[in-house]
């Protein structure tokens, strides 16, 4: 596995070092399944950390489809918060949280979501992208309310075609591959404990690859 991470690191460096006008010989994609964009009603889009750039185009498309979009974005500190203006522009209401309280509400995105739920806001769908643990807590919070909750999983992907099995996850008791069957799944059916266990398997390799950079 460490050899694979080493090769991925080399490829990343090569791509980052390319200049305008240079070409890539082969590129596969798009892979996986597109986001489901329909008029659901009131949708809460939640982005945590690096999940914010991923949830932004979804929020934009959902607003264009006629939904009332309420967005929650969070980060550890105000300095790490990204795309605030962009998210505000595609949201009817935007809530901000930071772990240290340096901007917006002090706490986590789930604290802002809990407030909405406690205020009896009628929510038709929740979409969340971010750390696996964050998505787990979001799904657990919406489950008692029976609110459809879509999570975009961040399993480790290597070949992105479902052949290697690295991104294997259990959804609704069935084995799925995030790259081919996802990346979006019903959060109430995802086995997050297994997902977190598998993600933690690669921590040392990821640290080694980052150190090589």
Q: Which two tokens stand for residue 185?
A: 């799944």
Q: Which residue has the higher pLDDT, 170 or 207?
A: 170
With a pLDDT cut of 70, the percent of the chain lying above it is 93
- Is 28 part of a structural domain of the chain? no
Judge contact between 177 and 167, C-beta under 8 A.
Answer: yes
| Enclosing domain of residue 199 | 154-182+189-213
Whether 159 and 80 share a structural domain: no
Same domain, 144 and 162: no
Q: Is the pLDDT of residue 1 over 50?
A: no
d(CA 199, CA 9): 18
Q: To 10 degrees, the CA torsion angle through 124, 97, 192, 119?
A: -40
What is the total count of domains within the chain? Answer: 2
Indicate the residue among 103, 134, 152 that finishes a domain: 152
Question: Among 13-17, 123-127, 174-178, 197-201, which stretch is predicted with the lowest mean pLDDT?
Answer: 13-17
CA distance 52 to 143: 23
Judge whether 42 lies within some domain: yes
Model pLDDT for residues 54-112, shown as the tens digit of each residue? 999 999 999 999 999 999 999 999 999 999 999 999 999 999 999 999 999 999 999 99
Confidence check: pLDDT of 8 > 90: no
């Amino acid at each position: 596995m460490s050899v694979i991470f080493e090769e991925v690191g080399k490829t990343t460096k090569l791509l980052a070092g390319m200049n305008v006008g240079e070409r890539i010989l082969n590129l596969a994609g798009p892979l996986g399944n597109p986001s489901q964009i329909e008029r659901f009603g009131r949708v809460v889009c939640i982005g945590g950390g690096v999940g914010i750039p991923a949830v932004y185009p979804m929020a934009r498309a959902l607003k264009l489809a006629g939904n009332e979009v309420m967005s929650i974005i969070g980060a550890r500190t105000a300095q790490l918060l990204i795309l605030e203006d962009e998210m505000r522009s595609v949201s009817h209401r935007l809530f901000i949280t930071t772990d240290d309280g340096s901007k917006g509400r002090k706490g986590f995105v789930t604290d802002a979501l809990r407030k909405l739920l406690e205020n009896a806001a009628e929510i038709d769908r929740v979409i969340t992208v971010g750390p696996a643990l964050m998505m787990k807590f979001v799904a657990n919070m919406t489950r008692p309310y029976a609110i459809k909750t879509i999570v975009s999983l961040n399993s480790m992907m290597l070949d992105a075609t479902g052949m290697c099995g690295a991104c294997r996850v259990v959804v609704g008791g069935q084995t799925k591959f995030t790259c081919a069957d996802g990346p979006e799944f019903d959060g109430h059916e995802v086995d997050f404990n297994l997902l977190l266990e598998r993600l933690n398997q690669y921590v040392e390799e990821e640290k080694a690859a980052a150190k090589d950079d």
